[in-house]
Structure formats: C-alpha cells, structure tokens
C-alpha cells in the first residue's frame, strides 16, 4: 500500500482543507505544507527499500477495478519512475512554501489545486494500467489549468486555454492508440486488458507500430514540449504564478519525456528506431533554437521558459541515442532539469515579489544590495549551464557520450547548445547582478529571509550532491536503462543484437 499512500495522501490533505475555515489562511497553508512534507518523507521509503539490482517493477499493487473491461488498479515503480516520484514529492513542499506570501486570493482553492495536482502527477509515474495512466494524465490538466487561469498574470486566460487545448489534442490521439492496443491484444490472445505488463509483451507488427508510435509521441512531444510543439510553454510560464511555473517546469514537462521512455520505446521498438533520427534532429533544433531565442528575451520568465526548451532537447537526444548510456543520462537530466529550472523560476519569483516586474532592464547591480540572493542565483545558473561538480554537468556528459556513440554528428551539434547556454545565462547574470544599481527602486530591496532560504537551500544541496556524487542516483537507472535498450537496439541494429543484449553483463 506504499504507492497508494504516497499517491493519495495529498488528496486526503485537500479533503481536509475543505473542512477548514477559508479565513484562517495561515492554518490552511500550514496544513497543506505539513501534508506535502509528510508525503515526501513517506516517499523516501521507496529510496530505502528499492532493490537497485533488479530491472523490473517493484512495490507493485494490483486490484480489480472494472473487470468487464480488463481495467485494473495497478501501480508500480522501477528506477526511472521512482526518481520522478521523489522529484515530485520533493518540489511540491517548496512550491507551497514559495507561495506563502505571493498567493493572497482564494488561498484555500489554490492549496487544494496544488495537492490534487501532486496526486495526479505521482499517479502518472506509478500507473501500470494504460487506462489508469490516462485517467491520471487527464486529471493533471484540471488543477494546472486553474492554477494558471485563476492565479496567473494579465494574459492568464489565454495561456491556460492554450495549455489545455494543446495537451488535450495530443491526449485524444493517445487514447485512440491505447484502445487500438487493447483490441489488438484481445484479438491476438482472447484477453482484453489495459495492463501494461501484459500489453508490453505483445509483438506489434512493424507496419502498425508506426501510426501507434506517432499517436503516443504527439501527446508526449506536446508535453515535453519538443520543437515545434513548444509554443504553449512560454505563455504558460510567463502567466503562471511562481509555484505553478516551478511545478510545470520541474515535474509536468517530465511527464512527456517519461512517456517516451516508458511507452514509446518498449511498446514500439521498430517505430522508435525508424523515427529516432527525425526526433534527434528536432531535439537538436530545439537545443539551438531555445538557446538563441533565450539570448534575446527581455523578460526573465520568458528567457527561462525558452531555456527549458533547449535543456529538454538534451533529454530527448540522450533518449533517442537508444543506448544505455544515453538513456541513463536522459533520465538523470530529467531530475536535474527539475531541480535547476525549478530553482530558476523560484529565483525569478523572489525578485518579482519585491519589484513586481520581470523586465531584465529594470535590474542591475543587485549583487550589491542582495548578496545572498545573488550567490544562490549564481549557483543555480551554473548548475543549469552544466558546470562540473554541479548536477547539470553529469547528465549532459552522459547524454553526449551516448549521442557520440550513436552518431558523433549529433553530439557535435548538441555541444554548441551548451556553449550558447553558458552565453545567455552568464550574460543575464551580468546584466541583473553586476554593475551599478541603475534604478532607485532596487536600492532598498531586502535580501532573502528564512522562509525563502528554506526553498532554495534544499535545491542547491541536491545540485551539489548529484554533481559531486551521482552514483546513488545512477544506481537506480542502470538496470531499467539496460532493459529498455535491450528492447530497442535489436530493432535498430538487427536481430544479431538480441544475442548481445541478452548475454551482456549487468551494468555496474
């Protein structure tokens, strides 16, 4: 019952908030924060009890749900989904803490939306029934739509409607593909089921894999978002409140990359091999495009939003290198992106709360006024651009190794994205923090208080931990990455690879 507890504790917290007086905002915030912290502490049992030497699913829970339709309540995690569950439970309390003074209207409803969103996100990463996965996937839309649309900026309605329309368009095709797999498995075996563990064993004809892969891939590509499906993201980030931007960048976008590695690659290995070069080309375009557009942005949030497109291009590049090294780097970089980009949005939220502007031109010389804030910002910037001894370096290095092994040209192009990333982030830091204080309003800005430090210190600590000693995180990924690669590499290189994949020594 551990996964069920982790998944639905936030929902129980949301129900508890319904019983509290909306006028007692302090108590509402305390209860929501306590629930999210408790959920994170419970989720650490996954880290402690997980067997890193096994490739399959662990902590599985299964119960009959709708037996007439072959639908079950089936949860489980492997090393990939475990890290993303922990990322979700780790970031949610930080988001609630960041919103302590920023959200001042409809506080009760905001906290309920955040907790329900946490349940849906955890459910996506744990669901091992295709129908259940789709339910959690769609359930995530409602609270995120409300968070942007109710508590967002001046163009919040436009941004929230664009977000939900894009996502639902992809989801509709994914649902159709899930139904095709359901009926296909029933026609072949006589057993109609949505159980992922059963469906993944089915061999889908290569000709049919192509449209099914495209249906799933479109839904996931929109969520990532990959170029050219990224246009909803800058609007959503700019208009969302800080907590919404952090959870959107930190977790929601990972649902797209997770979908690729969990469903597209194992279910459709032949189609994955066919489309790998095209997806890598789009990933590299996204890396370079996101970096170039970030360079010219006048708005802090929009700059970080486009940088997110660039960084997630690396995740897709490593994944579709279709080798264990690239897959490990890809999943680790999902976690790294959640920490560093989530931290970037927290940084922007802190200064926006003081100045009520995100225009880069309105700042300058802040290091003289807010030295602690400037220090934390520099660390998170360096983590995002991939400085050695910080988390971003480890993920990008593994991805480039995997990409080089697959096709060295891919790695050559991707490296230029790292250079551009350093350029726009360091230039941004120079404009905001160095030089003279050019605006009188910045002279009296207060440095970080204890609550704000509490939101940033855990992020920075994890950035250093992964950068200095990534082994505990990579240990979760060796087995599942090798398992996925063993499925897709025979489709990429031919049947002779099957023997090599099955006789290769276990990764250490």
Q: Which residues pair with 72 in a beta bridge?
A: 64
> Which of the four pLDDT bands, split at 50, 70 and 90, describes residue 501?
very low
80 found inside a domain: no
Distance CA(305)–CA(186), nearest Å, equals 43
83-102 pLDDT tens trace = 999 999 999 999 999 999 88
> Which of the four pLDDT bands, split at 50, 70 and 90, describes residue 498?
very low
Using alpha carbons, select from 322, 338, 344 the residue that is nearest to residue 399.
Answer: 322
326 found inside a domain: yes
362 found inside a domain: yes
421 found inside a domain: yes
3-51 pLDDT tens trace = 999 999 999 999 999 999 888 889 999 999 999 999 999 999 999 999 9
390-412 pLDDT tens trace = 999 999 999 999 999 988 999 99
For 68, which DSSP code? G
307 found inside a domain: yes
182 found inside a domain: no
Residue in the structure block whose two tokens are 């490739």: 55
Distance CA(158)–CA(85), nearest Å, equals 30
Vertex 405: Cα angle to 403 and 407 (nearest 5): 65
Number of domains in the chain: 1
220 found inside a domain: no
- pLDDT average, residue stretch 225-249: 90
Contact (CB, 8 A) for 5 and 84: no
pTM across the whole model? 0.92
Element (H, E) at 60: strand 58-66
100 found inside a domain: no
Q: Which residues pair with 195 in a beta bridge?
A: 129
166-204 pLDDT tens trace = 888 889 999 999 999 999 999 988 889 999 999 998 888
The boundaries of the domain holding residue 327 are: 268-508
DSSP string, 435-494: S---SGGGTT-----HHHHHHHHHHHHHHHHHHH--HHHHTTTHHHHHHHHHHHHHHHH-
| Average pLDDT along the chain | 90
């Amino acid at each position: 019952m551990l996964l069920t507890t982790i998944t639905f504790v936030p929902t129980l917290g949301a129900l508890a908030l319904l019983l509290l007086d909306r006028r007692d905002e302090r108590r509402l915030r305390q209860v929501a924060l306590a629930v999210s912290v408790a959920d994170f502490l419970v989720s650490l049992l996954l880290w402690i009890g997980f067997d890193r030497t096994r490739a399959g699913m662990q902590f599985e829970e299964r119960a009959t749900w709708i037996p007439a339709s072959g639908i079950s309540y089936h949860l489980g995690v492997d090393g990939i989904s475990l890290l993303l569950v922990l990322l979700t439970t780790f970031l949610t309390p930080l988001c609630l803490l960041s919103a302590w003074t920023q959200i001042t209207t409809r506080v009760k409803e905001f906290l309920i939306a955040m907790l329900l969103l946490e349940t849906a996100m955890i459910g996506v990463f744990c669901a091992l029934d295709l129908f259940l996965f789709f339910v959690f996937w769609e359930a995530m839309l409602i609270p995120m739509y409300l968070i942007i649309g109710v508590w967002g900026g001046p163009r919040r309605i436009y941004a929230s409607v664009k977000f939900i329309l894009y996502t639902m368009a992809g989801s509709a095709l994914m649902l159709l593909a899930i139904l095709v797999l359901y009926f296909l498995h029933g026609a072949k075996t006589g057993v109609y089921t949505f159980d992922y563990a059963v469906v993944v064993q089915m061999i889908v004809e290569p000709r049919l894999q192509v449209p099914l892969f495209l249906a799933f891939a479109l839904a996931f590509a929109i969520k990532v978002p990959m170029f050219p499906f990224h246009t909803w993201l800058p609007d959503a980030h700019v208009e969302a409140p800080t907590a919404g931007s952090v959870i959107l960048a930190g977790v929601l976008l990972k649902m797209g990359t997770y979908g690729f590695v969990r469903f597209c690659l194992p279910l459709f290995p032949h189609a994955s091999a066919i489309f790998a070069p095209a997806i890598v080309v789009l990933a590299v375009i996204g890396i370079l495009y996101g970096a170039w557009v970030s360079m010219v942005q006048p708005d802090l949030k929009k700059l970080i939003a486009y940088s997110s497109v660039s960084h997630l291009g690396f995740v897709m590049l490593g994944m579709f290198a279709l080798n264990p090294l690239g897959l490990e780097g890809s999943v680790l970089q999902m976690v790294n992106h959640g920490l560093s980009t989530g931290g970037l949005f927290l940084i922007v939220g802190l200064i926006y709360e003081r100045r009520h502007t995100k225009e880069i031109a309105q700042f300058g010389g802040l290091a003289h006024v807010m030295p602690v804030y400037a220090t934390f910002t520099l660390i998170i910037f360096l983590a995002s651009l991939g400085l050695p001894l910080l988390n971003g370096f480890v993920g990008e290095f593994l991805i480039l190794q995997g990409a080089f092994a697959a096709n060295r040209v891919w790695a050559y192009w991707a490296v230029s994205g790292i250079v551009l990333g350093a350029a726009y982030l360091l230039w941004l830091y120079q404009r905001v923090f160095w030089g003279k204080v050019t605006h009188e309003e910045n002279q009296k800005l207060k440095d970080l208080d204890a609550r704000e430090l509490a939101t940033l210190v855990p992020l920075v600590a994890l950035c250093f931990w992964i950068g200095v000693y990534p082994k505990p995180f990579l240990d979760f990924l060796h087995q599942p990455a090798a398992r996925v690669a063993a499925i897709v590499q025979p489709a990429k290189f031919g049947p002779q690879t099957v023997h090599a994949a099955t006789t290769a020594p276990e990764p250490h």
